[in-house]
Amino acid sequence: MKRVLKYVWKDYKFSCIVVVLCIVLAAFTNLKGLTFIEVLIDDYIKPMVGSENPDFGGLFLALAQLAGYFAVGVLCTYLYNRIMVNVTQGTMRNLRKALFSKMESLPIRYFDTHAHGDIMSVYTNDVDTLRQLISQSMPQTINCAVTIVSVFYGMITNNILLTGLSLVMVGIMLFTTKRLSKKSGYYFRAQQKDLGQVNGYIEEMMEGQKVVKVFCHEEKSLEEFRKINEQLRDSADNANKFANIMMPINGNISNISYVLCAVLGAVLAVNGYMGLTLGALISFLTLNRNFSQPITQISQQINSIVMAQAGARRVFELMDAEPEPDEGYVELVNAEREADGEIKEVAERTGFWAWKHPHKAEGTVTYTPLTGDVVFDDVDFGYDEKKQVLYNIKMFATPGQKIAFVGSTGAGKTTITNLINRFYDIQDGKIRYDGININKIKKADLRRSLGIVLQDTHLFTGTVMENIRYGRLEATDEECIDAAKLANADSFITRLPDGYQTLLTGDGSNLSQGQRQLLAIARAAVADPPVLILDEATSSIDTRTEKLVQEGMDRLMQGRTTFVIAHRLSTIRNADCIMVMEQGRIIEKGNHEELIAEKGKYYQLYTGKFAS
């Protein structure tokens, strides 16, 4: 909670001060209006009653003065409300921006270990609870506090004894509020939990609704649903019940307080004790009403404060997550080869890249040309400490070579590709890229030198052209179209209603799986990286599109070092080296002919027969 306040304070110091000032002023003028009745009755009405020639001039002046106060009050109210809009919305914007930029810096591990729905809900539900807190609960609490203090001051200067009585009643009110909000808080939490359960159940069942139908499981699924639905009804009923009755209870305690004060006040006034005048008593009674009102209001805020607390916790959890570390210092730069064979760094794009390797100790810089030579030296890896996934991986790929990985799901094929671009860091061993340990290379530069086509293609909202250009932002339209042609995507794109300007939405849901894959290949082609990582699609696309995809991929692979998670014979056959993986180990390696001759696991997989 404190951090939320700090967050608001950080960017809006001046606004906050003005807001608090305005709230105080507004509350003060409000109080003026309330106490005016006393002045009105005692100073103006009473003397005039019965007089022959009542003079309303004085009253008029007093009212004019009061109107002045009111004007200030209205102005202040408008001002602080208006400023709060900017403060609230601005804080929301800053929070969202900070969250997003934090999210972009998080390692892949974070996304793999957190449900996507949970991350999303931070942006929507949790930030929203904070909006409520900042825009409503905070100013209202300040307002109520100021009102309470100023009304209390008015009361105490009016009559101490009556003030004491009011305080006792307020004490009772606070006590019941505390008891009730504890109960309703308990049920609100239960409701949230039950709602989550209902949500999860619906999600699972709707996802599998076709299976439910095929198995005629409707009755059972309904029965199960009714159980948790009833639970939710019960907790929602209780949560709302306690929240609902808070208001009448507080309101009527304040009524009782009023009666008690009236009776006691009357006794005092009639007998002339403590100099209590009739007007003063009446205005005290008005003050009394206004004393309990803000307390009732604050008690109404309690639930939203509790909810905001939970929201804030999740927001700051994401905010505090460890970003992806990057201690690399080797950079990728555009270069030129001089006449004498020396490599020189240049500013413009030359198509020739070099690694800029500064040596701190000697204070010199060396340049190594980017070629795409990748070596794995005894690499061990596990997603968490306890469970090792890869064991002693040893392999090398010289520039332009094609390396294929085959093996069952969970054998560790995808994991290897995750290590080359440092989505995950290895536990033991070394990976060298053009002879440089990849830990020394800046992550951004390392990834820029690698092209990746994933099995599940992700596209972004925007035109087809923009999606292809994602590979290299400064690529011209011609370059994008050339890349599309290379990837075999041009023919289907030109057949789309708006060609390259067709708008894609919802992860390219208006395209088929195969078409999306072709776009992903084009995207990688535009980036033109020396090293490629390909995850071939499985059988979800039909044979004809598959042929197109395959041709596109083959063309893209030409002249590049390629790591491919292979499913197709053609890819495997012409691979320079095939790694057969099983349970995190490379169990066989060699080219197709060698492995067939070996009659091992590969032979068995390939022929579908068990070697005798």
Distances (CA, A) of 288 to 141, 281, 294: 19, 10, 11
Residue 77 interacts with other proteins (CB under 8 A): yes or no: yes
Q: Which is nearer to other proteins, 54 or 435 (CB)?
A: 54
Secondary structure (DSSP) of 329-383: -BEEEEEEE-TTS-EEE-SS--S-EEEEEEETTTTEEEEEE----EEEEEEEE-S
Alpha helices for 40-56 (secondary structure H): 46-48
Residue 74 interacts with other proteins (CB under 8 A): yes or no: yes
Q: 159: which DSSP letter?
A: -
Residue 603 interacts with other proteins (CB under 8 A): yes or no: no
CB of 464 to other proteins, least distance (A): 16
Among 10, 182, 204, 503, binds other proteins (CB under 8 A): 204
Q: Which is nearer to other proteins, 195 or 310 (CB)?
A: 195
Contacts (CB under 8 A) with other proteins, residues 468-487: 470-471, 473
Contacts (CB under 8 A) with other proteins, residues 529-548: 538-545, 547
Q: How far apart are CA 416 and CA 410, in angstroms?
A: 11
Residue 286 interacts with other proteins (CB under 8 A): yes or no: yes
CB of 97 to other proteins, least distance (A): 5
Q: Which is nearer to other proteins, 237 or 336 (CB)?
A: 237
Q: Name 54's Cβ contacts closer than 8 Å, sequence gap at least 6.
A: 48
Q: How far apart are CA 298 and CA 170, in angstroms?
A: 13
CB of 222 to other proteins, least distance (A): 5
Among 171, 325, 583, 594, binds other proteins (CB under 8 A): 583
Identify the CA nearest to 4 among candidates 434, 436, 422, 305. Answer: 305
Structure tokens at 196: 């989550």
How many CA atoms within 13 Å lie on the side-chain side of 385?
0
Q: What is the CA radius of gyration of the chain?
A: 37
Residue 113 interacts with other proteins (CB under 8 A): yes or no: no
Among 133, 148, 169, 265, binds other proteins (CB under 8 A): 265
CB of 477 to other proteins, least distance (A): 18
Q: Which is nearer to other proteins, 427 or 574 (CB)?
A: 574
Q: Which is nearer to other proteins, 49 or 347 (CB)?
A: 49
Residue 238 interacts with other proteins (CB under 8 A): yes or no: yes
Q: How far apart are CA 279 and CA 284, in angstroms?
A: 8
Would you mind telling me the total number of residues written for the chain in this entry? 612
Residue 213 interacts with other proteins (CB under 8 A): yes or no: yes
Q: Name 413's Cβ contacts closer than 8 Å, sequence gap at least 6.
A: 405, 406, 407, 565, 581
Q: Which is nearer to other proteins, 41 or 393 (CB)?
A: 41
Among 67, 346, 503, 611, binds other proteins (CB under 8 A): 67
Q: How far apart are CA 288 and CA 253, in angstroms?
A: 12
**Kind of pairing between the strands at 390-397 and 353-359:** unpaired
Contacts (CB under 8 A) with other proteins, residues 355-384: none
Binding mask 436-465 for other proteins (x = CB under 8 A): --------x--xx-xxx-x---xxxx----
Q: Name 258's Cβ contacts closer than 8 Å, sequence gap at least 6.
A: 285, 288, 289
Among 2, 6, 227, 248, binds other proteins (CB under 8 A): 248
CB of 78 to other proteins, least distance (A): 4
Residue 48 interacts with other proteins (CB under 8 A): yes or no: yes
Backbone angles phi, psi at 73, to 5 degrees: -60, -50
For residues 488-498, one letter each, b for 16 or more C-beta atoms within 10 angstroms of the residue's C-beta and e for the rest, the string is bbbebbeebee
Residue 35 interacts with other proteins (CB under 8 A): yes or no: no
Q: How far apart are CA 116 and CA 93, in angstroms?
A: 21
For residues 526-537, one letter each, b for 16 or more C-beta atoms within 10 angstroms of the residue's C-beta and e for the rest, the string is bbebbbbbbbbb
Residue 45 interacts with other proteins (CB under 8 A): yes or no: yes
Distances (CA, A) of 405 to 22, 144, 317, 412, 588: 69, 68, 38, 9, 10
Q: How far apart are CA 277 and CA 272, in angstroms?
A: 8
Residue 503 interacts with other proteins (CB under 8 A): yes or no: no
Residue 514 interacts with other proteins (CB under 8 A): yes or no: yes
Binding mask 160-199 for other proteins (x = CB under 8 A): -----------------------------------x--xx
Among 5, 10, 61, 89, binds other proteins (CB under 8 A): 89
Q: Which is nearer to other proteins, 262 or 337 (CB)?
A: 262
CB of 135 to other proteins, least distance (A): 8
CB of 208 to other proteins, least distance (A): 4
Count of residues in contact with other proteins, rule CB under 8 A: 165
Residue 124 interacts with other proteins (CB under 8 A): yes or no: yes
Q: Which stretch binds other proteins (CB under 8 A): 147-155, 165-173, 385-393, 569-577?
A: 569-577
Q: Which is nearer to other proteins, 219 or 362 (CB)?
A: 219
Q: Which is nearer to other proteins, 1 or 56 (CB)?
A: 56
Residue 17 interacts with other proteins (CB under 8 A): yes or no: no
Q: How far apart are CA 462 and CA 482, in angstroms?
A: 19
For residues 16-31, one letter each, b for 16 or more C-beta atoms within 10 angstroms of the residue's C-beta and e for the rest, the string is bebbeebbbbbbbbbb
Q: Which stretch binds other proteins (CB under 8 A): 160-168, 373-381, 431-439, 580-588?
A: 580-588
Binding mask 409-438 for other proteins (x = CB under 8 A): xxx---------x-x---------------
CB of 61 to other proteins, least distance (A): 12
Q: Name 417's Cβ contacts closer than 8 Å, sequence gap at least 6.
A: 452, 533, 535, 563, 565
Q: Which is nearer to other proteins, 105 or 141 (CB)?
A: 105
Residue 316 interacts with other proteins (CB under 8 A): yes or no: no
Residue 97 interacts with other proteins (CB under 8 A): yes or no: yes
